[in-house]
Amino acid sequence: MMSTAWSWFVIIVTLANIFACWWLIVWATKNKANNSKEGDVTGHVWDGDLQELNNPLPRWWLYLFYFTIVFGLGYLALYPGLGNFKGFLNWTEISQYNNEAREVHEAQIALFAPLAKLSPEELIKNEQALLTGGRLFAANCAGCHGSDARGARGFPNLTDDDWLYASDFDGIVMSISNGRTGVMPAWQAALNDDGVQEVTAFVRQLSGQDADSQLAAKGEARYNIFCVACHGVEGKGNPAMGAPNLANNIWLYGGSEAAISESVANGRIGKMPAQKDFLTEERIRLIAAYVSSLAK
Ligand code: HEC
Ligand code: HEC
C-alpha cells in the first residue's frame, strides 16, 4: 500500500498520460503537415528517390490506437493499477493463487480418493495408480534411487527383487514412511588387518567370487563369531535390521576386495530418510505400489 498522496499522484499521472495519447491522435489526424493536401509529398527524401507522402494513417490503424486507449481504461477500471484502487473485480495475485491452489487440491482429491480405496493387490495392477506413483517417485525418490530406481553405491536398487528390509507391500510402505537406518559396525579394531583380510576372502567366496581358500577358511571361523548374528548362517542377511544378503553377489557398496574390506573395516551407515512428514499416506501407498511393480 502506498500513501494516499502517492496513490493520487500515480492516478493523475497515469490518467493524464492516457488522455495525452488520445489528444495526440486527435490532434495529429486534424492537422496535416505544412497544411498540405492528401497525396502531397512532405519533402522528405531518402536513398535518392524514396519520398514520403502526406497520407493519413489507415483507418484500421487509427482505430487500433483508440481501441488501445479504451482497453487501457477498461483494464484500469477492472484490475489494480491506479494507485491504491483495487479495481472493480477485486482481483489480487493472492486470490488468483488461492483459487488455483484450491482447483489443484480438488483435482487431487478426485484423483486420489478412488485409489485410496483399493487394496495393495489392486493398486499394483492399476495403471492410474502406477502412473501417479511413478511421477511421485520421480519427484521424491529419484534423487537418491535414480530415475530408473536402479540406485547407486549406497542407495539400493529397487528393481532387482533383492531387499535389505521387508519386501511385501506393508514392508515397503514402512521403509518409505518411517525411513530406515542400516548400521554395519566397524571391525578394524576387533579383527585387525589380518582378520579383515580373512573375513573379506570368506565373503568373496560366499558370493561366488575368486578368493584365497586358505584365507577364506580362517575368515569363515571369524564370520561365525562376529558376523553370523546379523548376516545369518548362510550369509543370506536379515531383513529385520537391514543386514544385506552377502551370498548373492548383489552389493550395496560394491563386491570388490577393496570395497568389501572397506565395509568390514570401517563399517557402513545407510540412511533412508522418513517420508511421512512430506508425503500423505495415500501418496506413499501409490509409490509403494509403483516400487512393488518394478521388482516383479
Ligand atoms: C549388528 C549387525 C551386523 C554385524 C554384526 C555385521 N554386519 Fe555387516 N552389515 C550390517 C548392516 C545393517 C549392513 C548394511 C549397512 C547399510 O545399510 O548401510 C551391513 C553391510 C555389510 C557389508 C556391505 C554389503 C554390501 O552389499 O555392500 C558387508 C560386506 C558386511 N556387512 C560384512 C560383514 C562382516 C564380514 C561382518 C563380520 C565381521 C559383519 N558384516 C557384521 C549389519 C551387521
Ligand atoms: C536421501 C536419499 C534417499 C531418498 C530421498 C530416498 N531414499 Fe530410499 N533409501 C535410501 C538409502 C540410503 C536406503 C538404504 C538404507 C540402508 O542402507 O539401510 C534406502 C532404502 C529404501 C528402501 C528399502 C530397500 C530395501 O532393499 O529394503 C526402499 C523401499 C526405499 N528406500 C524407497 C524409497 C522411496 C519410495 C523414496 C521416495 C519416497 C525414497 N526411498 C527416498 C536413500 C534415500
* pLDDT of 123: 94
CB of 176 within 6 A of ligand 2: the answer is yes
Q: Which atom of ligand 1 is nearest to the CA of 255?
A: 27
Ligand 1 neighbours (beta carbon < 6 A): 182-185, 187, 199, 203, 226-227, 229-231, 241-244, 246, 251-253, 260, 263-264, 268-270
User: What is the residue with the minimal CA distance to atom 22 of ligand 1?
Assistant: 263
Taking alpha carbons only, the member of 148, 143, 147 closest to residue 160 is 148
Q: Could you tell me if 257 and 204 are in contact, meaning their C-beta atoms sit under 8 angstroms apart?
A: yes
CA distance 20 to 26: 10
**C-beta neighbour count of 13 within 10 angstroms:** 10
Residue reference for cell 490506437: 65
| Ligand with minimal distance to 225 CA | 1
| Ligand with minimal distance to 285 CA | 2
CA of 261 to the centre of ligand 2 (A): 24
User: What is the residue with the minimal CA distance to atom 5 of ligand 1?
Assistant: 227
CA of 175 to the centre of ligand 2 (A): 7
CA of 145 to the centre of ligand 2 (A): 7
CB of 180 within 6 A of ligand 2: the answer is yes
The CATH number of domain 109-179+274-295 is 1.10.3720.10: no
CA of 287 to the centre of ligand 2 (A): 12
pLDDT string in tens for the chain (296-residue length): 789 999 999 999 999 999 999 999 888 877 765 566 667 777 888 888 888 887 777 889 889 999 999 999 999 999 998 989 989 998 999 999 999 999 999 998 888 889 999 999 999 999 999 999 999 999 999 999 999 999 999 999 999 999 999 999 999 999 999 999 999 999 999 999 999 999 999 999 999 999 999 999 999 999 999 999 999 999 999 999 999 999 999 999 999 999 999 999 999 999 999 999 999 999 999 999 999 999 86
Query: Hey, do 109-179+274-295 and 182-272 end up sharing a CATH topology, with the first three levels equal?
Result: yes
Per-domain boundaries in the chain: 109-179+274-295, 182-272
CA of 24 to the centre of ligand 2 (A): 69
What's the Cα-to-Cα distance from 66 to each of 22, 29, 32, 62, 296, rounded to whole Å? 7, 12, 19, 7, 68
CATH topology of domain 182-272: Cytochrome Bc1 Complex; Chain D, domain 2 (1.10.760)
CA of 272 to the centre of ligand 2 (A): 5
